Chain A
């Protein structure tokens, strides 16, 4: 029942026509969450509340579990054999591990952007409408509108509007990543997950994507994993610092980078390790 999940995840706040003034402070709730790859524990007792329509950055050295946690929000880790978890994650009040919930529906309401841009070897147009096609949408007018809205949303429309039917693989690296963002927002998700979206981009393309993140947070709850601490300071409202599978500190970005309460956080952001 994909529809039910989507409608349940859609809070009134997500619909601009009936926008409630108060975004939920605990839109994504992680409760006592432990996660294991086989016997190896990757996350330890994570508890955190991620607020709605803000940008939350996950920072920390490689292997600290930040991507693992991100990939649990849309249960991409289910694709890996031998993983299991304890604890719970809820999005807009509903557990994503509810056995009645369909993973397909969950993933449809959560957009994901990967480290390496991965447009399909199809046309720009077909890349954007993929999520609609697999949901069985055929109305040409609706598809056309979605393509324009998504590409405008990803600040790519003006660059590609005359070649929508050309292969997406002919775009530049930065354009490809923005195309992937456009593809991720085409289905109007509630949450946008970004796994180091700029690590393969040059500074100019990175600036564009960061600008875009700033725009997108008006409509989406964004969680971004980044290795780049300047990026976290530039574009996030809140920052979570992870180390060795534990959440060390989670606070406003300003607080984390100016006056962290934990020594480990301070050591990391001042470049003493990591």
Chain B
């Protein structure tokens, strides 16, 4: 019985003591590392608050960006532009991503097409965002610019005027559409993958019950599977929105920037992220401070939309 580790034998108590000491050390290490990871996060929030708060006034949301060197102004057009482009991106990527996830998880989980889609989606999550911008530039922005140039080369006359009018009103070129499209490419894989995980997480027992009661596949998906997966799908969507709202690279090529209020979705459009990028590189203190404030606004907007989605779509 020498090897027993009974608490009430001296040897056992000794070993138990060593184990419990090791346990405590590991606890302390884990807590310390957890705190360590908090440092960058907390310091970012602190910096953004410290530098961004002074300029955070209502005027920021109602006025246009000041010219270089000028004081005052705001970035209302950039806030609107960010909303527009994230909205467009969401309108493209959310239905596409969710429906693809439904297909690859519910209809043909093991088909070659499904496996390809899964693989490509995983690849796409790692794609640098600037490539999304270049791609959107190539397929949305360039064709229009090219078309306009081509039509301008035509013989003058009413035919050319009409053609020019049609081509210039195409929903492309440097525009909110192009920016939204670029962001949607960025969002799509995240939405697809999280939606598939969400659908996988729906208990098989629910599906069995539904099929057992005579439901079709569509009814089972629409009435049982999707409602149960909504909270998790929303989490994925909010993650992708948070990422897209902060992206600069895809917008530089596609939406450019604008000093003015956007009149339509067909023209160069301002966004918070590009504004931050532009203003932070200017040599004027006011513009730099405004970039901080824009960062703060971006953080606040993303947080609000996240929290709202969590509350609205919480599992009941």
Q: How far is the CA of A112 from the CA of B205 in the complex (A)?
A: 12
B residues less than 8 Å from A135 (CB atoms): 214
A108 / chain B contacts, CB cutoff of 8 Å? 213-214
The residues of A that contact B211 with a CB separation of less than 8 Å are 76, 79, 107
Task: Name the contact of A104 in the complex, choosing from B214, B315, B316 (C-beta under 8 A).
Answer: B214
In the bound complex, CA of A157 to CA of B238 (Å): 42
**A81-B110, A134-B219 given; A105·B214 CB < 8 A:** yes
B214: A residues at CB distance < 8 A? 2, 104-109, 131, 134-135, 187
- Please tell me which stretch of A29-37, A116-124, A206-214 contacts chain B, meaning at least 4 of its Cβ atoms lie within 8 angstroms of it: A116-124
B269 to A: closest C-beta gap in Å: 42
B215 at the interface (CB under 8 A from A): yes
Known contacts A81-B110, A167-B316: does B203 contact A118 (CB below 8 Å)? yes
- Asked whether A180 is an interface residue with its Cβ less than 8 Å from the other chain, the reply is yes
Q: Which has the most chain B C-beta neighbours within 10 Å: A79, A114, A118, A119?
A: A118
Q: Which chain A residues lie closer than 8 Å to B212 at the CB level?
A: 74, 76, 107, 111-112, 114, 184
Q: Please count how many residues in chain A sit with their CB below 8 Å of the partner chain's CB atoms.
A: 29
Chain B residues within an 8 Å CB radius of A118: 203, 205-206, 208-209
Q: Say yes or no: is B51 at the interface (Cβ < 8 Å to chain A).
A: no
Measured CB to CB, the nearest residue on chain A to B212 is A112
B209 touching A114, Cβ below 8 Å: yes
Closest to A135 in B: B214
Using known A-B contacts A81-B110, A121-B228, determine if residue A107 contacts B213 with beta carbons closer than 8 Å. Answer: yes
- Chain A residues within 8 Å of B224, by CB: 120
Q: What is the chain A residue whose CB lies nearest that of B224?
A: A120
Residues of B within 8 A of A81 (CB): 110
Residue B308 interfacial (CB < 8 Å):
no
Chain A 166-187 residues near chain B, CB threshold 8 A: 167, 180, 183-184, 187
Q: Does A44 contact B (CB under 8 A)?
A: no
Within the complex, the shortest CB–CB distance from B276 to chain A, in Å, comes to 42
A130 at the interface (CB under 8 A from B): yes
B210 on interface, CB distance cutoff 8 Å:
yes
Q: For the complex formed, measure the closest distance between the CB of A79 and the CB atoms of chain B, giving whole angstroms.
A: 6
- List of B residues within 8 angstroms of A76 by Cβ: 208, 211-212
User: Which of chain B's residues has its CB closest to A107's CB?
Assistant: B214
Q: CB-nearest residue of chain B relative to A131?
A: B213
User: Could you tell me the distance in whole angstroms from the C-beta of B120 to the nearest C-beta in chain A?
Assistant: 24
Contacts of B227 in A (CB 8 A): 121
What is the distance, in angstroms, from B221's C-beta to the closest C-beta of chain A? 12
- Which residues 187-238 of A sit at the B interface, judged by CB distance below 8 A? 187
Contact flag A114-B208 (CB < 8 Å), given A81-B110, A120-B224, A121-B228:
yes
Contacts of A167 in B (CB 8 A): 316
Chain B residue with Cβ nearest A130: B213
Q: 1/0 per residue B103-118: CB within 8 Å of A?
A: 0000000100000000
Chain A, residue nearest B109 (CB): A81
Kindly state the separation between the CA atoms of A114 and B203 in the bound complex, as whole angstroms: 14
Binary contact readout A132-143 vs B (1 if CB under 8 angstroms, 0 otherwise)? 011100000000
- Given A118-B203, A134-B219, A167-B316: A187 touches B209 (CB 8 Å cut-off): no
A111 to B209: give the CA distance in the assembly, Å.
10
Q: When chains A and B are docked, how far (Å) is the Cα of A106 from the Cα of B215?
A: 11
Pick the contact of A114 from B205, B215, B219 — CB < 8 Å? B205
> B14 contacts which chain A residues (CB < 8 A)?
none
Q: B169 in the interface, Cβ–Cβ < 8 Å?
A: no
What 1/0 mask marks residues of chain B from 211 to 236 whose CB sits below 8 Å from any chain A CB?
Answer: 11111100100011001100000000
Cross-chain pairs A/B with CB under 8 angstroms, 7 sampled: A76-B212, A112-B212, A114-B212, A119-B209, A120-B210, A121-B315, A130-B213
A residues neighboring B (CB under 8 Å): 2, 74, 76, 79, 81, 104-109, 111-112, 114, 116, 118-121, 130-131, 133-135, 167, 180, 183-184, 187
Known: A104-B214, A121-B206, A130-B210. 12 other contacts (CB 8 A): A104-B215, A107-B211, A107-B213, A108-B214, A109-B214, A120-B206, A121-B315, A134-B214, A134-B223, A167-B316, A180-B209, A187-B214
